[in-house]
Structure 1
């Protein structure tokens, strides 16, 4: 038997590798939204931030010759988008949802306009670690080829979970999200906390966008995000605003997104394309399953409201 022939293991291994690749943008955007919502603010504009990060990272990497400079530029662009959202939403009677949708449309429009010259040029890609170098199987090597940003996101998920429970900054974010009056009683500036949390959330979403253009799929196109920024909001609800659960949920979404390519890789020629819709179906199912009053509010910060 050919040692590179994995037989029935081919599909699960392809899904594993695909889950790691596809989940990284979900992970960064969901962690950014989790941080933002923990402070009591909703940001639906992260889809626009994701796209802005993708084009900014690609352009910076192309002109500088360094993928990491591209990641930094994407984070900076995300910070600007997050800060704008946070600043506007501090005013009374401003609707977080409406501002988020407006910035989503603005961000995608800006990205599409300024990204036209970068559709053809090739920028340097982010490096990956070859955890499968020990195997002679190309499938194993491909599945265990892990980008550095995925590892950074995994560490960041644990760090955020720890910070929310063990640091003063994490406590202030949680208090501001649960009760603005209690935060003010502690002497905290609620608007400042939410501005910083929304800005930091934008940074993470921008970095997630740089992964799309600089690693997988690894180019700048106008449809590069495929709605991942919006799906990440459902992911945060599914994860009950827990950063570590966001990591697991991102892998789940990533595995769903990898199902179609995995089936295609083993020779399925009919119907495999239907599985490309799996992430969107999963998002719909999650929203339905969490739509009851008791389940939806479980773990939600008390200050979250579409009327603020």
Structure 2
């Protein structure tokens, strides 16, 4: 019983990060780095919560979170793809924008009650011992399962996925083959931003259905790190997100049952894990495990094509 409770908490805690990580994978596979994930998640969280509160419709809130984060991501896409601006600086500016605008417009929503997504059990599957809790979740969790499968298929089994990966590996060759590199990168960044917005929406509409300033608590940065841990693969991103979620859930349980370890130290555990992940990933890269897109972070200019 305890294992099932912990697994349930793991899934719920890791789902928001999973959405954001999947979005960043799509973006980086096309060759663009987006460090604005934290800001995009906040925009999605507030936008989804506000629209759901106004309309009384959670699904409209989810749609709004995707659209608003996509619009914000469009700014980053335009600067980095068409203006060939610095991707790191633009991403950081996007994060600061998201933090600031949600703090400004979210003040009136603090403490406002909202009935969020409820769990829906899938017959038969939810009765399986232990892993059955995976099939007793809300609709957004099920959507995350679907996205892992769908995006993996898209990237490695479709012509569109090949175009996205070509733009990230060798944009000049992709351009020569007739692929519009600018359009692919632009749309991939927008779509990835929308998925990050869904990660924020999950926090405010399902995980804790309310709005709290800076409620993402660094999850966007964790998602960026998990992309490296996942080696830019969706299935590995799912494992990494749930691993982080499991550590988060474990530290909360340890605080609940009482322990001699300081609560502040326990709260640090998920972020310590992130540092360890980055160290391991760096060691792998230094040993020659080349996994990141070849042209990641490099602006493409047709005039420089050789």
Normalising by the residue count of structure 1, what TM-score does the alignment of the two structures yield?
0.89
Gaps of at least 5 residues in structure 1 are: 1-5
Distance 2:132 2:297 in 1: 46
Report the Cα offset of residue 55 of structure 1.
Answer: 0.4
Report the Cα offset of residue 298 of structure 1.
Answer: 2.5
Find the partner of 2:295 among 298, 303, 308: 303
Distance 1:195 1:17 in 2: 36
The answer to whether the aligner puts 1:122 opposite 2:113 as a matched pair is: yes
**Residue in 2 that maps onto 1:23:** 14
**Residue in 1 that maps onto 2:4:** 13
Change (3 A) 1:14 1:85: same
Normalising by the residue count of structure 2, what TM-score does the alignment of the two structures yield?
0.90
**Residue in 1 that maps onto 2:260:** 270
Distance 1:296 1:98 in 2: 28
Secondary structure, in 3 states, of the residue corresponding to 2:147?
Answer: helix
Distance 1:295 1:14 in 2: 39
The answer to whether the aligner puts 1:184 opposite 2:180 as a matched pair is: no
Report the Cα offset of residue 13 of structure 1.
Answer: 3.1
Question: Aligned residue pairs: how many?
Answer: 295
Gaps of at least 5 residues in structure 2 are: 301-306
Secondary structure, in 3 states, of the residue corresponding to 2:153?
Answer: helix
Asked if the contact 2:13–2:249 (Cα under 8 Å) also holds between the matched residues in 1, the reply is: yes
Change (3 A) 1:218 1:306: farther
Distance 2:273 2:27 in 1: 23
Find the partner of 1:103 among 94, 110, 130: 94
Distance 1:72 1:178 in 2: 32
Report the Cα offset of residue 270 of structure 1.
Answer: 3.1
Change (3 A) 1:189 1:297: farther
**Residue in 2 that maps onto 1:155:** 146
When the two chains are superposed, the root-mean-square deviation of aligned CA atoms in Å is 2.4
Distance 2:177 2:252 in 1: 52
